[in-house]
A and B are shown apart, each in its own frame.
Chain A
Amino acid sequence: MTHATDAELLEWALLQEEPDAPQPPHLKECPPCAARYEAVLAEQELLRRAFVPAAQAPRRKAGWAAAAALLLGALAGAVIARATVPPRASALSLARVEGELRRIPAEIESLRDAEPSRLENEYPRVLSKAEGLYADFLSLYLDGASPLSDAQRAEIRQAVDTLYSRVWEEEDVEKLAGQFRGALQTALNADQFEAFQAQVLREKESEWAAEIDIVIDDLAEALNLRFSEEERVRDVLKARYPKTDLPMLTLAQWPPDRLAGDLGLASIVRGTLEAGYHAGYDAYLQSLRDGHRRVEKVARAMAPGLGR
């Protein structure tokens, strides 16, 4: 039997992830060549590792804040930037609300590892502020479609307050979204409600994509993932990551927590990662769960007091 040359083994290894990769039967029939081929694959792994440190971007100064900024940016910024704001809405006021919303993440970031007492004091205040800003945003936006009465503004605020006070208690987020939508439908006239529906629909896809970006970013940073791994995880998340019927709910939740809370999704992502990442991934999920429980405890205790 003629053994494979080094050139052939290298060629097969370099092609192995290509759609038209050859399946050389020789490797099945020749244990020495199969062993040499394994050595080439091991060398490829070595080369991938050699590039890992160079692949690291400067560490984000405020991971949580940056991530939340993406969400908030998608919430407020996108609406303003796309020139889809109803003509009567005051762009200046919307810009002000956006500016304040953008400052929220920095406050949340500062609480992530805070002492328990500070977390208990500050988190409800920040969440309440975010909630107020969302209500302001919604009022300004809808007022542009058709002027709101004072009573309608109060009802919007009440609906947002109820939404945020229940987000930690109600596990069925779709039900919560439906209730919120129902409350707004009762409070708003047809034009206003149509504007709300259109706004939510428009933001739904971008919010979902922004959440996936956040999950990937966080995971990549935690596990020091190679880019090819990131892309594999991204594909899985695009296929499996749930779409929330009301994207604003994510203001109160940290997207990677969804990964930790969804055993099926967490397991599929784990299966996508190479075995060398598994221990780190498990520890990452555990840290997410711990963090989630910590904030959840505070949020549940304070839920009735949230809002203005």
Chain B
Amino acid sequence: MEAVREESAEVLARKYFRRVYGFCRALLGRDADAEDACQNVFLTVARRREELLEIRQPVPWLLQIARLTCLNLRRERDRLRPAGLERDESADPGPPLPPTENIDRLRTVIERLPERYRSVLVLHFQQGLSHAETAQVLGLSRGALRVLLHRAVARLRQEARTS
């Protein structure tokens, strides 16, 4: 991956806006929220521009900022809603979902997943990040990331079957 060195915050915004927007939209579920989040992300980037000199992988760095921004926005939005308890996941994910699974229904299921599961699925399936990059965004080791990803798919399968 190329170094960011010469890239200004403006160049980053131009180059990665769609990508960051897609990520925020998937985490927040609404265009208006995603737009707010994107604006905050690139404002943060502009404020932290001195860090650009040290960043070699702009995408994980940006998505890390984006994820924290989305978490804050979501927390604000859901302030009065009590946090749900996460189930203890079994090691067996069960068989895969059939190809005939309704996409819209699947999206609804994804929307309802706990944030960490949704984040890891978005980073893996939408953003196409490697495990190392995804681990970097989420602040995990690669081993922990693999477990989280595995559990996220398992939970998704369970929810899709029971919903």
10 closest A-B pairs by CB: A228-B128, A55-B22, A51-B126, A43-B96, A57-B21, A54-B26, A57-B18, A47-B125, A40-B96, A54-B25
Number of interface residues of B (CB under 8 A): 41
CB distance from B65 to the nearest CB of A (A): 17
Residues of B within 8 A of A166 (CB): none
Contact A43–B121 (Cβ < 8 Å): no
Complexed CA–CA distance, A51 and B22 (Å): 9
Q: Judge whether B126 and A46 touch: CB under 8 Å.
A: no
- Chain A interface residues (CB < 8 Å from chain B): 5-7, 9-11, 14-15, 17-19, 36, 39-40, 42-44, 46-58, 70, 213, 217, 220, 226-231
Residue contact B101 to A46, C-beta cutoff 8 Å? yes
By the criterion CB–CB under 8 Å, are B14 and A227 in contact?
no
Residues of B within 8 A of A19 (CB): 130
Binary per-residue interface labels of chain B (78-109) against chain A in the complex, 1 for a CB within 8 Å, 0 otherwise: 00000000000001111111110101001100
Contact: A10 with B153, CB < 8 Å? yes
- CB-CB under 8 A from B128, the residues of chain A are 226-229, 231
Nearest Cβ on chain A to B109's Cβ, whole angstroms = 9
Chain B residue nearest to A229 in the complex (CB) = B128
Please measure, in the bound complex, the distance between the C-alpha atom of A15 and the C-alpha atom of B145, giving whole angstroms. 11
Structural contact, B94 and A228, CB atoms closer than 8 A: no
Contact of B125 among A36, A51, A53, A58 (CB under 8 A): A51
Chain B 1-42, CB-CB to A under 8 Å as 1, else 0, gives 000000000000011011101100110010100010000000
Contact, CB under 8 Å: B91 / A7: yes
Specify which of A51, A58, A217 lies most central, judged by the most chain B CB atoms within 10 Å of its CB: A51
CB of B74 closer than 8 Å to a CB of A: no
Contacts of A228 in B (CB 8 A): 127-128
Question: Residue of B at shortest CB range from A11?
Answer: B150
A51 to B23, CA, bound (A): 9
Pair A55/B25 contact, Cβ less than 8 Å:
yes
Using A46-B103, A54-B26, A55-B126 as known contacts, say yes or no to A220 and B18 having CB atoms under 8 A apart: yes
A10 to B124, CA, bound (A): 14
Shortest Cβ gap from B2 to chain A (Å): 9
Q: Which residues of B contact A44 (CB under 8 A)?
A: 125
If A58-B35, A227-B127 are given as contacts, then 13 extra A-B residue pairs at C-beta distance below 8 Å, sorted by A number, are A6-B93, A9-B96, A10-B150, A14-B124, A43-B99, A46-B103, A51-B122, A54-B29, A55-B18, A55-B22, A55-B26, A226-B126, A230-B19
Task: Please indicate the chain A residues that have their CB under 8 angstroms from the CB of B15 in the complex.
Answer: 213
> Of A5, A14, A227, which one neighbours B92 at CB under 8 angstroms?
A5
Contact pick for A18, options B18, B103, B130, CB 8 Å: B130
CB distance from B108 to the nearest CB of A (A): 10
Neighbouring A residues of B95 by C-beta, 8 Å: 6, 36, 39
User: Which of A10, A56, A58 neighbours the largest number of chain B CB atoms within 10 Å of its CB?
Assistant: A10
Q: How far is the CA of A237 from the CA of B119 in the complex (A)?
A: 29
Which residues of chain A are near B150, meaning CB under 8 Å? Answer: 7, 10-11, 14
Contact between A50 and B14 (Cβ–Cβ < 8 Å)? Answer: no
Q: Can you list 7 A-B pairs with a CB-CB distance of less than 8 A?
A: A7-B92, A18-B131, A54-B107, A55-B18, A217-B18, A227-B19, A227-B128
Contact with A along B48-91 (1 / 0, CB 8 A): 00000000000000000000000000000000000000000001
Which residues of B in the span 105-119 have a Cβ within 8 Å of any Cβ on A? Answer: 106-107, 110
Instruction: Considering the complex, give the chain A residue whose CB is closest to the CB of B105.
Output: A50
Contacts of A57 in B (CB 8 A): 17-18, 21-22
Closest Cβ–Cβ distance, residue B21 to chain A (whole Å): 4
User: CB distance B93 to A49 under 8 Å?
Assistant: no
A14 to B120, CA, bound (A): 12
Do A17 and B130 touch (CB < 8 A)? Answer: yes
Instruction: For residue B70, give the distance in angstroms from its CB to the closest CB of chain A.
Output: 13
For A225, give the chain B residue with the smallest CB separation.
Answer: B18
Residues of B within 8 A of A70 (CB): 14
Please report the C-alpha to C-alpha distance between residue A10 and residue B93 in the assembled complex, in whole angstroms. 8
B97 to A46, Cβ gap below 8 A? yes
Contact B93 A50 (CB under 8 A): no
Which residue in chain A gives the minimum CB-CB distance to B157?
A: A43
Q: How far is the CB of B96 from chain A (nearest CB, A)?
A: 4
> B residues within 8 A CB of A230?
19
Please give, as numbers and ranges, the residues of chain A lying within 8 Å of B91 by CB-CB distance: 7
Contact across chains for B106 and A14 when beta carbons are under 8 A apart: no
